[in-house]
Chains A and B, each alone.
Chain A
Amino acid sequence: MTTVTGPIPYRIPKRRGPVLTFIVQQPLGAIGLVAIVAMVLASVFAEVVAPYDPLEVNYAAILAAPSADYWFGTDAFGRDILSRVIYGARTALAVGVLSSLIGCVLGTLLGTASAYFGSTTDLVIQRFVDIMLAFPIVVLALVVVAALGKNVIGGIDVNLIIAISIPIVPKVARVARSAALSVRQMPYIDAARAAGFSHSRIVMRHMIPNIMAPVLILFTAFIAQAILLEASLSFLGLGVTEPTAAWGLMLSGNSADFYEQAPWVIIFPGLAISFAVFAFNLFGDSLRDWLDPKLKI
């Protein structure tokens, strides 16, 4: 009989990294994530990936059908549609991510402040949010972009981003307020107050970090919406202007005249929009499931 002395050996299970865990638990979300990463890489390295300059006009190849030279065909100016779709990802992602980011940051601040201060402040902010929510998102963006006009800085129309951000703010504010109301009841918030911390410190350092999960989900979901909205505004002639490569713009103007004769002029930009929106929605949904503790039980 052998007596074993000392501590009982215990193998600590290996913990997967969060990315790997996400991939294993949310395979559909992982597909969305891969698609998003592919889009980001394609847009960042567009100069390398795109076979042609997206602005290069080739009058000898007007409305050329998809071929070995032009995989997605060419448009009415003989420009390569594949290259324009790749470069168009830049516009879509830049406007989508920035609009969603601005909308989520402002909405979170507004919603959290509303929940924290309560009383009249909450009442005023929430009625304002109600008014903003009464406008359909496209109509509100249309009004803002028409009123502000264009203000292109570094190739990006800042006013377009603002126009798309504004309708996002009230939606995020409503969710952020709801999450912040429960956080406000927590003893550590009372403790922070008792310790004499400033309002801004309590909101910024103790409340907002604790409501980030739903905001993060909204952020990804609104990127998809913002991409769709940017494409819609460009289609209506209120977004980016020719000859910039942008998916919505590629569906409007001359494409509307030639889609019967050359369907590829609308098929590929249309697919690109659907692909991007699908990828962000897939990722956003999976992220929601992954971060929701109730779904982990």
Chain B
Amino acid sequence: MGILHRTGRLAALATTGLATTALTLGLATAAGAAETPRRGGTLTFAVTAEPPNYDCHANTSFAFIHPVAPHYSLLLKFDPANYPKITGDLAESWTVSDDGLTFTFKLHPNVKFHDGSALTARDVKASYERIINPPKGVVSARQATFDAVASVETPDPQTVVFKLKGADASFLANLASPWNCVYSADKLAADPKFPEKNVMGSGPFKFGEHVSGSHWTGQRFDGYFRQGEPYLDGFRAVFMSSSAVTNALQGGQVQAEFRGLAPADRDRVKNGAGDKVQVHEAPWLASLILVFNAKKKPFDDPRVRRALSLAIDRWQASTALAKISILGPVGGILRPGYELAASEAELTKMPGFGKDIKAARDEAMLLLREAGVTGLTVNLTNRNVNMPYTIGGVYVIDQLRQIGVTVKHEQLETKLWQSAMSSGNYDMAIDFTGDFMDDPSLNLTKYLSTEISPVNYSGQADPLLDKLYAQQRGETDKAKRAQLVREFERRAMEQAYVVPILWWNRSVVLSTDVKGWEMTPSHYLNQDLADVWLAK
């Protein structure tokens, strides 16, 4: 009766919550719909790092996407108001063959590059071929995601056809990657490295200037193919340290910072600027993970790895750490809330995610005894960045103390931290995941054998995990794919080469003058600024 009563209350709360969310979203949409976008003005936003070069295909950081994305068009993109729905950008429409191996895209007519030349299927083909088969000296960070592509064909100037060697459930979503900028085929033919030092796309804004250490500007491209867009006259990205962002937002020097603020900074800006700012919040498609060096004793023994994962009370920390950091939701390999992610019931059955922490820690100590490990002292290699790495590190150290494991915290500069992990010179390390979309083929890569996925620094070799990954990637039936992903997740948590710690929460603070920007779980998405406008 009590349980039923509690369940009833939970259901009622959930319904109320959903209704409130729907109402809020509805009101927000209604309010948004009621407002007519105003043309003009320059959006000034902060970026807390600077792009190393100008090539979309080679870069991986938000520091690149935020200033560069407004200059380029993509073939497809995520609909920011209805994430994860995919919509066309350059593509006006598309069809997929019954066998899922042929994707045909019709391009918008009259698309122009910023230099006035016409954008055709030839440019899309040249750009994707640069990603799939990069010429010598060109870096393609996402080459592996397109290894199923057999050919890219252009039967006419407005049509692009991708033919695949085998089914790929993530193919369409990968085409909506914000990193796949479409370049001019002529420019690439003249110099495949042209995009490294030049910005010339077909996006809503033309490149203005980049003053290193200071700012990046863009001006409205009047020849943009979407009628009436963009609304802004231009944008100015200002490079500043993260500690300066809160003051700049509070003082109105910048109108936005799109990556996200820590709760304390968010509150400080809110308290200081009052109703001059708006706060957008969402679960973040990013998590902290704990990586064990499976090539080093005692972590070559799965019992030891599992024991350490079992000692971490994720549920208790979820609420507590959310108050002081961007860490929060408990989740498995996939973001909690994503349709293919493990439900709470499924999650609690996996090692390290049970809610009875005493039982879990008893089991952990038993496993350590069975493995013959006593008085374990290990190094935790971590990044020398407070939010959320140091916080995550302190939390993990405290949790492992509960089963008698002594942890020495080694915090390194980003470069040294990265190099310690990639060279295998560590015992266990704190790493992160951060992707542009929810998709198992993308999100599972940190859990695959190191040989086929160098971003997994554990040094693991697990053919079963690799096989399950390949199977889910080729499975186009959603239910079957979910089943395979769950099997992968269970195996990964049992072997515990790499284990999730906690997922992140994203809080973006904007001036109330900024309109038309939609929050998504990824800070890589929706940054072309085509729909953004300023109220005054």
Residues of A within 8 A of B (CB): 55-57, 59, 62-63, 76-78, 149-150, 152, 237, 241-244, 252-254, 257-258, 260-261
CB <8 Å contact, A257 and B398: no
CB <8 Å contact, A261 and B409: no
CB <8 Å contact, B409 and A241: yes
Given known contacts A254-B391, A261-B264, A241 and B401 CB-to-CB distance under 8 angstroms = no
Interface: B535 (CB within 8 A): no
Contact with A along B387-411 (1 / 0, CB 8 A): 0001101110110010000001111
On chain A, the residues within 8 Å of B262 by CB distance are: 257
Can you pick out 14 interface pairs between chain A and chain B where the beta carbons lie within 8 Å of each other? A57-B394, A59-B319, A59-B321, A62-B320, A77-B395, A150-B410, A237-B411, A241-B411, A243-B394, A244-B409, A254-B386, A257-B262, A257-B264, A260-B268
CB <8 Å contact, B409 and A243: yes
CB distance from B411 to the nearest CB of A (A): 5
The residue that A258 contacts in the complex, of B264, B316, B398, with Cβ under 8 A, is: B264
CA distance A169 to B324 in the complex (A): 42
Interface: B161 (CB within 8 A): no
Interface: B265 (CB within 8 A): yes
CA distance A59 to B394 in the complex (A): 12
Interface: B384 (CB within 8 A): yes
CB <8 Å contact, B320 and A59: yes
Residue of A nearest to B399 (CB): A57
The residue that A253 contacts in the complex, of B265, B390, B397, B408, with Cβ under 8 A, is: B390
CA distance A241 to B382 in the complex (A): 10
CA distance A59 to B391 in the complex (A): 13
On chain B, the residues within 8 Å of A257 by CB distance are: 262, 264-265, 324
CB <8 Å contact, A254 and B393: no
CB <8 Å contact, B410 and A57: no
Residue of A nearest to B316 (CB): A59
On chain A, the residues within 8 Å of B264 by CB distance are: 257-258, 261
Interface: B342 (CB within 8 A): no
CB distance from B356 to the nearest CB of A (A): 17
On chain A, the residues within 8 Å of B397 by CB distance are: 55, 243
Interface: B280 (CB within 8 A): no
CB <8 Å contact, A242 and B409: yes
Give chain A's interface secondary structure class: loop
CB <8 Å contact, A243 and B398: yes
Residue of B nearest to A150 (CB): B410
Contact with A along B462-491 (1 / 0, CB 8 A): 000000000000000000000000000000
CB distance from A290 to the nearest CB of B (A): 43
CA distance A55 to B319 in the complex (A): 20
CB <8 Å contact, B390 and A242: yes
CA distance A262 to B391 in the complex (A): 18
The residue that A55 contacts in the complex, of B323, B393, B398, with Cβ under 8 A, is: B398
CA distance A237 to B317 in the complex (A): 25
CB <8 Å contact, B394 and A77: yes
CB <8 Å contact, A254 and B324: yes
On chain A, the residues within 8 Å of B401 by CB distance are: 55
On chain A, the residues within 8 Å of B393 by CB distance are: 242
Residue of B nearest to A77 (CB): B394
Residue of B nearest to A60 (CB): B320
CB <8 Å contact, B386 and A57: no
CB <8 Å contact, A253 and B386: yes
Residue of A nearest to B320 (CB): A59
Given contacts A62-B320, A237-B411, 4 further A-B contacts (CB under 8 A): A62-B323, A150-B410, A254-B391, A257-B324
CA distance A39 to B316 in the complex (A): 36
Contact with A along B244-280 (1 / 0, CB 8 A): 0000000000000000001011001000000000000
Residue of B nearest to A254 (CB): B324
CA distance A260 to B316 in the complex (A): 26
CA distance A252 to B316 in the complex (A): 25
CB distance from B378 to the nearest CB of A (A): 13
CA distance A260 to B269 in the complex (A): 13
On chain A, the residues within 8 Å of B323 by CB distance are: 62
CB <8 Å contact, A241 and B410: yes
Contact with A along B28-49 (1 / 0, CB 8 A): 0000000000000000000000
CA distance A296 to B390 in the complex (A): 54
Contact with A along B310-350 (1 / 0, CB 8 A): 00000011011101110000000000000000000000000
Residue of B nearest to A57 (CB): B398
CA distance A56 to B394 in the complex (A): 10
On chain B, the residues within 8 Å of A241 by CB distance are: 409-411
CB distance from A293 to the nearest CB of B (A): 50
On chain B, the residues within 8 Å of A76 by CB distance are: 324, 391
On chain B, the residues within 8 Å of A78 by CB distance are: 320
On chain B, the residues within 8 Å of A152 by CB distance are: 408
